Copies of this chain bind each other. A is one copy, B any other.
């Protein structure tokens, strides 16, 4: 797993906007379905806080992740989501070490 790249993203939606942000995130991730560089893209609701969304990303490399987000079919979704958030997403870059094989 040494060459893999993973992110844990925490997004805080403005009150009442979480569902809308989730729809945008799911639509943004649809092209990842056919991208073998994307191993995991999991959009989750925080079970306790009604405004928080977590997105777990696992990619074969940082460059592949950067390239996927830069594609013209993905960028408009980023622009749509940002105004619905409180501040910018909090991104934690992590290095996957192991666990259950995907």
Copies in the complex: 2
User: Could you say which interface size class chain A belongs to?
Assistant: 20 to 34
A84 within 8 A of B: no
Cross-chain contact B100 with A44 (CB below 8 angstroms) = no
Q: Which of A85-102 contact B (CB under 8 A)?
A: 92-102
Best-buried of A45, A48, A95, A98 by chain B (most CB within 10 Å): A98
A12 within 8 A of B: no
Cross-chain contact B97 with A6 (CB below 8 angstroms) = no
Which A residues are closer than 8 A to B by beta carbons? 6, 8, 22, 25-26, 29, 32-33, 38-48, 54-56, 58, 92-102
Cross-chain contact A93 with B48 (CB below 8 angstroms) = yes
Q: Give which listed residue, B26, B94, B99, contacts A97 with CB less than 8 A.
A: B26
